[in-house]
Amino acid sequence: MLRSFAKFLFFFGYLLSSTDCLAGLAGFTSANPYTREELNAIHSGFPRSIRNYRDSMRQNLIMLSRYGKSQNPQFVIMAHEGQKLLENGLWEYHLDDYNQSRLYGYSQDRDTLMLNPIEIQNKKIKTLLPQYLQSIDVEVINNLFCHPNQFVGPSGMAIMSIDQCSAAKVDEAIKTSVRQKIPSYIFGNPQFAFKDAKNQLLINENAQNIEKTNQAQNILFLLDTSKFDNKEDYLKEIERSNFDIVVISPFFKGKALRKEDVNRLKYKKNGALRKIIAAMNISETDSGKYYWQPEWEIGAPSWLKRASFVDKKGIIVEYWSEEWQKIISDYFKGIVEQNFDGAFLTGLDNYQYFENLTPLD
């Protein structure tokens, strides 16, 4: 059932420090850390009110999901590293208390009086959010098998994992993922991650049609196309693979894939159906995007907030901005029209940056 580990010793190698090839995927790359000014700004004041950054992120995902499923009821939404958005957490209850305090003019002591752990337990404040849950088909977690990362998803929600493993841990990670029936993309050497189909580990290969995501037994992320000189070679490498789900960019070398390109990828080499998913960051942009304006830079327009933490060329945006929501709506519409089977939504964890600039803790 499991493919031989020896076949891919070549690309596994030693873990390297360079992660430029990972296309800025949260959890596996590091770029543009907090500046001294930002660190000084954290907890430095008490604004009149604070936005619920988590819920703003949820609303964007809900908006996109509703549109996708209105056009295709089987359209798949895969959420990357968004597990903390699945329920109301402590921060949001602190936020409610804070905003109420400021609204009614309580003292600063009252402003910072938040729920304590006993109150949390008694009130059972962590409640699942049905509207958000219904918008997601798959939750994709980092390092579920190769590092300590306990996650139990809501009943009925499919879970998949992206794992960076040492050579000593990879066999056990594979066995655990198969035993738990959780498809996992496992890599060791960052130089080869997210850029190869031919040499990538294929776990639990099968010849069944994949009509729903919960039928998938393996997954491929091919987000970096730098090794391909032309689109035809890129498409052929995917066609010649037997992965059940393949996650790719909706663009190749800056040009949108055609509907015909996407359709030809929907069959595995063995002839069975699979799912082709488009990757999309819903809270970051960069100067290579088709909608980018020559005069834009960080701070102009104002919703271009700061450099990405994980992508050297990326920029975190104020994702609640109406202008940004219009941009991602058009971008997402294009993905649906390209006939992708779904979208892999990244950037969901960027709400943490905005939370860290607030005085709630």
341-355 tens-digit pLDDT: 999 999 999 999 998
The Cα diameter of the chain in Å comes to: 68
Q: So what's the pLDDT on residue 4?
A: 40
Query: What average pLDDT does range 129-154 have in this prediction?
Result: 87
Instruction: Categorize the per-residue pLDDT at 102 as very low, low, confident or very high, splitting at 50, 70 and 90.
Output: low
Share of the chain above pLDDT 70, in %: 80
d(CA 288, CA 291): 8
Q: So what's the pLDDT on residue 92?
A: 83
Q: Per residue in 186-214, pLDDT tens?
A: 998 877 899 999 989 899 999 999 999 99
Instruction: Categorize the per-residue pLDDT at 115 as very low, low, confident or very high, splitting at 50, 70 and 90.
Output: very low
The answer, yes or no, to whether residue 310 has pLDDT greater than 80, is: yes
The answer, yes or no, to whether residue 273 has pLDDT greater than 80, is: yes
Report, in angstroms and rounded to the nearest whole number, the Rg of the chain calculated over CA atoms: 21
Q: So what's the pLDDT on residue 14?
A: 32
Query: What average pLDDT does range 118-140 have in this prediction?
Result: 73
Query: Most confidently modeled of 12-21, 45-54, 141-150?
Result: 141-150
The answer, yes or no, to whether residue 117 has pLDDT greater than 90, is: no
Q: So what's the pLDDT on residue 97?
A: 74
Question: Mean pLDDT score of the chain, rounded to an integer?
Answer: 84
Instruction: Categorize the per-residue pLDDT at 27 as very low, low, confident or very high, splitting at 50, 70 and 90.
Output: confident
Structural domain boundaries of the chain?
A: 5-87+128-356, 89-127
Q: So what's the pLDDT on residue 44?
A: 53
Q: So what's the pLDDT on residue 125?
A: 46
Query: What average pLDDT does range 314-342 have in this prediction?
Result: 98
Name the residue with higher pLDDT: 119 or 219.
219
Query: What average pLDDT does range 308-322 have in this prediction?
Result: 96
